């Protein structure tokens, strides 16, 4: 009895979502409800035809009207009321209780007014069958099932008890017993349904939570790659109808160095800060995700390319602002590639490829900048991929050669050194320029193997030259940071039997910008062994005098733009003169690059340069021609000395 009361008066004490599903189940399969109502209408009208009593006829008509109305409600209410569970349940209760009550009253009237036996049996059997069937169908809301049976059975049982014969009274008791049995069944079905639905809902919530976790980046809280792909596909469909879509692919420059120097925990905090800055600058409808590592992707609707450019500059400025982690002040730059729908692609995959290519070009062109996708990038990438694959084969097939360009003493005209320059003579494509394959080698890491090979070949050639002639080799930043880089160079010198002081390594300012301990150790170890260093392309970067003071440079190479570039003139001559005076004080040599005419040679010599290099003296030549140049020079100066 206590369970029955709880069911009758506390059926709302269940989870709202479970209750919603159980209520929705009441409106499923309206065909069964239609069939039951049709049977009731037919039974009522047939029973009424056995009597001339107007009340019975009116009651039968009322039952028919309620039945028809219930069918209409079952079909229309779920669409009209939508997801208002409380209203759906109340309206269903009203229809069910009205039908059961009128049905029970009609059954009691057929007994009370003494209608013929077939008429009584028709209505009573239908009432008992309908209420019992309803108790199972509506077990998801047991209050409806139980109260429906009470309203249908009570008038019939009362009419039977009021009859003088024992059989009628026994039937009333049987109906009550059947009622109790049906209540037990309804409650059991309800519990089973409730537990099943609740378990299914729990599983669904858990699956939804797991799906959210699977699509969320654990470090930043942004979408991860899987979540990003999912949301981009969904959002692109909604954006297409209204505007263009800009896809921004961001990559933090030199983030690996933050991890290596300060640890991954600090690196994660930097990523979190970058994610917050992206959120603060993005548009309301933007989709943001961490694609992986130090790469982020953002997509949003834009009016045109100009708005996309404005957003890109805003993002670059925001991310580049210095940030503080504990006591460390960090500056994290960013490279960005941008692709715009529908101009650069009709689907997410194509847009991602375009933005990735644009990002690649932003890195190649110097980093810390944004680049828009252009179709030529695809052709350029194919070209680079070909070079990457063929370069590795070229090293094995000896397709690469070392050429040497002389560096001449501007006062005496004698060759003091040769700069080693790599040349690639492809068997099918002919000669490939260094600016085509050197950047590819640096991007792929092949520059380490290539650089070591150049150093070894240059050392072997220089070992055949007079002892006062040195060889200069350019170094890539990747070479310097490679494990055992200094040892590899010393081993190459040892194998070639070239004294360390005859090797000069040329380093650009970009190598020194990072203030890397690896660079410091590399230069210190080789300098201690006797290897010399030259600061290359001086004047094209920051031209910091701090580098000259900190590192063991014995030579400064003034960039060709000061000699033969479009800006060459009085200002550049004054700069060369100032640098030369400083170098003279520090006992350093100054090399002027790009000399092509006698006037340029005279100008840089008058400005204080001690050495010169350029086409005026000679182009880069193979090793055997370098040897011939030295031999001719020795013969020439030998004759001059003999004549003197």
pLDDT average, residue stretch 348-377: 84
Res. 9 pLDDT band, cuts 50 70 90: very low
More confident residue, 139 or 414: 414
Phi-psi region of 534 (alpha: psi -120 to 50; beta: other; left: phi over 0): beta
Task: Output the pLDDT for position 1.
Answer: 46
Res. 13 pLDDT band, cuts 50 70 90: very low
Task: Output the pLDDT for position 141.
Answer: 67
Residue 196 and residue 137: Cα distance in Å, rounded? 16
pLDDT average, residue stretch 45-72: 84
Task: Output the pLDDT for position 462.
Answer: 93
pTM, two decimals, is: 0.54
Residue 343 and residue 302: Cα distance in Å, rounded? 13
Q: Do the Cβ atoms of 379 and 345 come closer than 8 Å?
A: no
The answer to which of 201-210, 244-253, 350-359, 501-510 has the lowest mean pLDDT is: 201-210
Residues 6+ apart with CB under 8 A from 446: 388, 391, 392, 395, 440
Task: Output the pLDDT for position 19.
Answer: 54
Residues of the chain with pLDDT > 90: what percent? 13
Is it the case that residue 161 has pLDDT exceeding 60? Answer: yes
Res. 456 pLDDT band, cuts 50 70 90: very high
Note every long-range contact of 536-545, with CB atoms under 8 Å and residues 24 or more positions apart, other chains counting: 536/474, 536/506, 536/507, 536/508, 537/508, 537/509, 538/509, 538/579, 539/575, 539/579, 540/509, 541/508, 541/509, 541/510, 541/513, 542/509, 542/513, 543/509, 544/509, 544/512, 545/582
Residue 364 and residue 383: Cα distance in Å, rounded? 14
Task: Output the pLDDT for position 319.
Answer: 85
Kindly state the greatest CA–CA separation across the chain: 160
Q: What is the mean pLDDT of the chain?
A: 80
Residue 361 and residue 373: Cα distance in Å, rounded? 9
DSSP 517: H
pLDDT tens track for 570-615: 666 777 787 777 777 778 888 988 898 898 888 888 888 899 999 9
Q: 16: how many CB neighbours lie within 10 A of its CB?
A: 10
430-432 and 415-426 as β-strands: parallel, antiparallel, unpaired? antiparallel
Q: 186: how many CB neighbours lie within 10 A of its CB?
A: 28
The answer to which of 131-135, 425-429, 544-548, 609-613 has the lowest mean pLDDT is: 544-548
pLDDT tens track for 79-99: 555 556 666 767 777 877 888
pLDDT average, residue stretch 512-538: 82
Please state the φ and ψ torsions of residue 475, each to the nearest 5 degrees.
Answer: -115, 140
The answer to which of 78-82, 214-218, 511-515, 595-599 has the lowest mean pLDDT is: 78-82
Res. 8 pLDDT band, cuts 50 70 90: very low
Task: Output the pLDDT for position 325.
Answer: 73
* 115: Cα separation from own chain's centroid: 79
Task: Output the pLDDT for position 469.
Answer: 93
Res. 232 pLDDT band, cuts 50 70 90: confident
pLDDT average, residue stretch 182-189: 78
Asked whether the CA dihedral 375, 381, 384, 385 is positive or negative, the reply is negative
pLDDT average, residue stretch 180-203: 74
Res. 404 pLDDT band, cuts 50 70 90: very high
Is it the case that residue 236 has pLDDT exceeding 80? Answer: no
Kind plus residue range of the DSSP H or E element containing 241? none
Task: Output the pLDDT for position 4.
Answer: 46
The answer to which of 14-28, 257-271, 416-430, 545-559 has the lowest mean pLDDT is: 14-28
Q: CA triplet 256, 261, 263: central angle to 5 degrees? A: 80
Task: Output the pLDDT for position 459.
Answer: 93
């Amino acid at each position: 009895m206590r369970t029955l009361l709880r069911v009758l008066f506390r059926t709302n004490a269940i989870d709202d979502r479970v209750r919603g599903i159980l209520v929705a189940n009441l409106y499923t399969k309206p065909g069964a409800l239609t069939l039951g109502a049709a049977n009731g209408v037919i039974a009522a009208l047939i029973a009424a035809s056995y009597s001339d009593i107007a009340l019975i006829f009116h009651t039968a008509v009322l039952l028919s009207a309620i039945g028809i109305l219930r069918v209409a409600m079952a079909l229309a209410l779920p669409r009209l009321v939508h997801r208002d569970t409380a209203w759906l349940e109340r309206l269903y209760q009203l229809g069910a209780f009205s039908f059961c009550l009128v049905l029970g009253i009609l059954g009691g009237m057929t007994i009370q007014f003494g209608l013929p036996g077939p008429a009584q049996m028709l209505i009573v059997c239908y009432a008992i069958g309908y209420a019992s069937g309803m108790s199972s169908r509506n077990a998801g809301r047991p209050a409806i099932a139980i109260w429906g049976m009470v309203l249908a059975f009570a008038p019939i049982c009362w009419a039977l008890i009021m009859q003088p014969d024992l059989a009628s009274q026994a039937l009333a008791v049987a109906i009550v017993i059947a009622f109790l049995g049906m209540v037990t069944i309804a409650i059991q079905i309800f519990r089973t349904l409730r537990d099943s639905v609740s378990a299914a809902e729990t599983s669904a919530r858990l699956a939804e939570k797991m799906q959210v976790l699977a699509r969320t980046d654990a470090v930043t809280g942004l979408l991860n790659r899987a979540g990003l792909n999912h949301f981009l596909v969904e959002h692109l469909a909604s954006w297409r109808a209204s505007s263009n879509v800009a896809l921004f692919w961001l990559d933090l420059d030199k983030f690996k160095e933050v991890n290596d120097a300060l640890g991954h925990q600090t690196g994660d905090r930097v990523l979190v800060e970058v994610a917050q800055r992206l959120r603060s600058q993005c548009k309301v409808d933007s989709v943001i995700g961490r694609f992986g590592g130090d790469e982020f992707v953002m997509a949003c609707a834009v009016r045109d390319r100009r708005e996309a450019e404005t957003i890109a500059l805003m993002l670059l400025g925001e991310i580049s602002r210095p940030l503080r982690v504990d006591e460390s002040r960090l500056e994290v730059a960013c490279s960005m590639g941008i692709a715009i729908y529908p101009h650069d692609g009709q689907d997410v995959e194509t847009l991602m490829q375009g933005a990735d290519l644009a990002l690649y070009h932003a890195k190649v062109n110097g980093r810390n900048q944004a680049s828009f996708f252009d179709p030529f990038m695809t052709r350029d990438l194919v070209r680079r991929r070909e070079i990457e694959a063929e370069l590795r084969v070229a090293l094995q097939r000896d397709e690469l050669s070392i050429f040497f360009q002389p560096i001449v003493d501007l006062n005496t005209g004698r060759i003091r050194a040769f700069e080693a320059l790599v040349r690639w003579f492809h068997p099918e494509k002919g000669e490939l320029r260094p600016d085509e394959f050197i950047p590819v080698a640096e991007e792929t890491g092949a520059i380490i193997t290539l650089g070591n090979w150049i150093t070894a070949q240059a050392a072997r050639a220089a070992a055949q030259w007079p002892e006062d002639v040195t060889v200069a080799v350019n170094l890539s930043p990747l070479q310097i940071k490679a494990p055992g880089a200094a040892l590899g160079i010393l081993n190459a010198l040892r194998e070639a039997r070239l004294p360390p002081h005859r090797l000069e390594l040329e380093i650009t300012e970009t190598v020194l910008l990072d203030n890397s301990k690896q660079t410091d150790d590399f230069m210190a170890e080789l300098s201690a062994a006797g290897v010399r260093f030259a600061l290359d392309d001086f004047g094209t970067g920051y031209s910091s005098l701090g580098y000259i003071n900190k590192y063991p440079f014995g030579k400064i190479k003034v960039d060709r733009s000061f000699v033969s570039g479009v800006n060459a003139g009085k200002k550049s001559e004054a700069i060369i003169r100032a640098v030369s005076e400083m170098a003279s004080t520090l006992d350093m040599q100054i090399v002027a690059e790009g000399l092509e005419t006698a006037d340029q040679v005279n100008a840089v010599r008058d400005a204080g340069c001690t050495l010169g290099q350029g086409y005026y003296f000679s182009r880069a030549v193979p090793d055997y021609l370098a040897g011939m140049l030295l031999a001719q020079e020795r013969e020439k100066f030998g004759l001059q000395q003999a004549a003197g």
